[in-house]
Each structure stands twice: as structure tokens, then as C-alpha cells.
Amino acid sequence: MVSTPFPRPRFFIDWTLFLPALTLSLLGILTMSTFGQGASLASRQFLWLAIASGIYLSLSTLDIRFIRRTPVVMTLYVSALVLLVLLLLFADPVLGARAWFSFGLVSFQPADLAKLALLALLAKYLSRRHVEIGDFRHIIVSGGYALALALLILVEPDMGNAIIFGTLWLGMMLVSGISKKHLVILGLMACVIASALWFGGLKPYQRTRIISFVNPASDIHGSGYNAYQAKIAVGSGELFGKGIGYGTQSKLRFLPEYQTDFIFAAFAEEWGFIGVVLLLSTYALLFARLAQIARSAATNFDAFFTLGVLILFVAHVALHTGISLGLLPVTGTTIPFMSSGGSHLVLEFAALGIVTSLARQGRSAARDVSANEYLGG
């Protein structure tokens, strides 16, 4: 009897997705390695990059199509809700926010899992109802899913991530084909919600940050300090930058949270305008590949999920860079792949792994034509 050898596992990597993400991560590590205590920051981030890359490789190789199933999607969403509630009840405040579970040297931010959960839920919901998006009821129901998570995030308080959740939902509505009339209605509702938040939902320091954004010179030594120092860092980089390791704003600690919320400003100071163009071009390559995958997706779910990943990344990049350039109020937002931290990096590579797997598994599959499944409609 001739024994048949076990087939060797084949690993699948979409290099046009993985290489830009890896490049951005390494640029982030290089930038933070030049800061004070940068060696330990960079070493820890490099370890997280190795873990995140392994997760990408695992998910891209596996048959991940089970994520299309309603029980899986709802389990993810409910798990995220439960974790966010437990966070508010039991987590210790860090920098004034209950945003992390701490386990010794490792911290976990449930908001990152919640982004993936909302993304999958909206993809599932819209994959069955995008042709019915003219019914305002579906806009309200899908918005309710996003609002539940965003409110829990806002209570932490974490304004930056709450904005990301709202932007992700709005972006998904736009790509699903929402009508102009409904878009105007949503705009009016947003104004009402913003007014309610201003008078009853925002913390005093959050209102102060918005006021200092409108009038930056009003308090550059207080509420406007972060934005002021970020603009100095970006502007002082000029055309070619000060050179790696010579960024005074970050190295001398004038630039706060330089490894997370303002790493773009730190990068711009050292690399200059040319470096920023190359950086944003790398993001553009990643975004273009995601858009290409979405266009050729085998099912509606795959298309909406991939577009959701694209919208999530674009929202983070736009918000983070806008804050560093003084175009938006300071909210505290990471930039994908570059900012220090493990949970967001794992989420980002996991999202790319799922996209790669869905694209690979769907190449020979017919477009999904199964019956509608209601998730609360």
C-alpha cells in the first residue's frame, strides 16, 4: 500500500495589499525609534507587526466565507457591545478615558473589534437591502446598529473613534446608493444630534478643543497646544525634512502623543513634503487595490465588506492628517499601520486578511442570489 503524503499548506498573500501595509508599518516603527525611549517603543511595535502579519497570513489562507453568515455577524456585533459595556463598568481610566482593558504589559481596545463587527454587520445588512435603500426604514435600522456602538464609545469618552463609527456608517450608506433627499434628511438629523451633544453630551475639554480649533490663537498654551505644536512640526519639515532622528518637536517632547495621535506630524517634520507625498502615495496604492477588489467581488457581501475596509482606512487617514494640519479639531485618532499600538494594528491586518481570503475564495463563485435575510428590519 502506497502512502499518500499530506498536502503541504499553501499560503496566500496579496502582495499589492500586504506590501503597502508592511511599508507603512515599518515607516511608523522607524519614525518612533528616533524618539526618547524610542528603542523600546519600536521593539514592542515590531513584535506587534510580526503578530499582525501572522494573523494576516492565517486569515488570507483560510476559507473565511463563514463570516457571511448571519449568526457569525451577529455574534461579532453582540460581543463588541458586551465588551464596550464591560469596559465602562470595570476598566480603569487611562488619560481620562475608559478605552482599554489592561492585562499587565498588554492592553486591548474593544473599539477596534467593534469597528470590524460593525463593518461586517453593515456589509451583511446592505448586501440584502442595497436595492431597497430608498426605503428610509433601512437607513434608520442600519444607523441604529452604528449609533449603539458610537454612543458607548462616546461615553468612554473617545470622540475620535465615535466620529470614525459615524463616518463608516455614512460611507456605507453612500456606496449603497442613498438618495439625495434622504442624505439631506440625515444632514438635518446630524445637526440636531450635534447640537444635543454640544449642550449635553460633550465633556468640557472636548468643547474647549472645538473652540480652540475655531480660534487657534485663543489658548495655544492650553487647549490649543496640541494642534499648535503639530502644525509647527509639519511646517518645519519644509521640502526635504530635518532628517531621520532630527525632529525637534517630537524628540524634545513638544509634540504630545507623538507615537500615536501625532505620528504623521512627527513623520512630516523628519521627512518633509517629499516624504509626505511618498507616504500618502503608499496609502493611495493600498486604497486603489481595495477598490479594485471591491469592483470584482463575487458577492454583494464581499463588495460591501471590502468597501467598508476602504472607508474605515480613508476615514482614519483623513481625520488623523486633518488634525495634524490644523484642518480639524483635535480628537485623538490613530493613523492606520503607522501609529503605535497593537490592537488597532492587528485589526487592520486582520481586515486585509479577510478581504484577501474572500477575494481568493470568490474568484470561481457565482454572484450571491440567495433570499433576503432580515437583521432587524
Category of 39 on φ-ψ map: left (φ > 0), alpha (ψ -120 to 50) or beta? alpha
User: What is residue 344's predicted lDDT score, i.e. its pLDDT?
Assistant: 92
Rounded Cα distance between 173 and 307, Å, is 11
Of 267, 279, 259, the closest CA to residue 344 belongs to: 259
pLDDT confidence tier of residue 368, bands split at 50, 70 and 90: very low
Burial of 13 (0-12, 13-18, 19+ CB in 10 A): middle
**184-243 tens-digit pLDDT:** 887 887 788 777 766 766 667 666 666 655 655 566 666 667 777 888 888 888 898 888
In the predicted structure, residue 177 carries a pLDDT above the cut 60: yes
Least confidently predicted of 6-15, 96-105, 239-248: 6-15
- Report whether pLDDT(38) > 90: no
Confidence bin at 33 (pLDDT 50/70/90) = confident
- Amino acid (1-letter code) at residue 134: G
pLDDT band at 47 (very low <50, low <70, confident <90, very high): very high
Residue 2 has pLDDT above 50, yes or no: no
Specify whether the backbone of 11 is left (phi greater than 0), alpha (psi in -120 to 50) or beta. beta
Can you give the pLDDT at residue 131? 61
pLDDT at 10: 67
- pLDDT tens, 258-295? 777 889 999 999 999 999 999 999 999 999 999 999 99
Q: How confident is the model at residue 373 (pLDDT cuts 50, 70, 90)?
A: very low
In this structure, how many other beta carbons lie within 10 angstroms of the beta carbon of residue 7?
6
Cell of 210: 472645538
Is 50 exceeded by the pLDDT of residue 96? yes
Judge whether residue 114 has pLDDT over 80: yes
Q: What is the CA radius of gyration of the chain?
A: 21
- Over range 143-169, report the average pLDDT: 90
Which are the contacts of 155, defined by CB distance < 8 A and separation ≥ 6? 88
Helix (H) or strand (E) holding 106: strand 106-108
Q: Answer for the pair 263, 48: CB distance below 8 angstroms, yes or no.
A: no
Contact 233, 265 (CB under 8 A): yes
What DSSP string runs through 271-293?
HHHHHHHHHHHHHHHHHHHHHHH
Kindly indicate the confidence band of residue 376, based on its pLDDT and cuts at 50, 70 and 90.
very low
List b or e across 292-309, with b for residues whose CB sees 16 or more CB atoms inside 10 angstroms.
ebbeebbbbbbbbbbbbb
pLDDT at 290: 97
* Distance between CA atoms of residues 41 and 45, nearest Å: 6
Alpha-carbon distance 315 to 164, whole Å? Answer: 6
pTM above 0.85, yes or no: yes
Does position 312 have pLDDT exceeding 90, yes or no? yes
Among the listed residues 58, 1, 52, the one whose alpha carbon sits nearest the alpha carbon of residue 25: 52
Checking if the pLDDT of 300 tops 60, the result is yes
Three-state SS at 3: coil
- Kindly give the residue spans of alpha helices, DSSP state H, lying in the chain: 15-32, 38-61, 70-90, 110-129, 136-155, 159-176, 180-196, 204-214, 225-236, 248-251, 263-295, 300-324, 343-362
What are the residue ranges spanned by the domains of the chain?
15-362
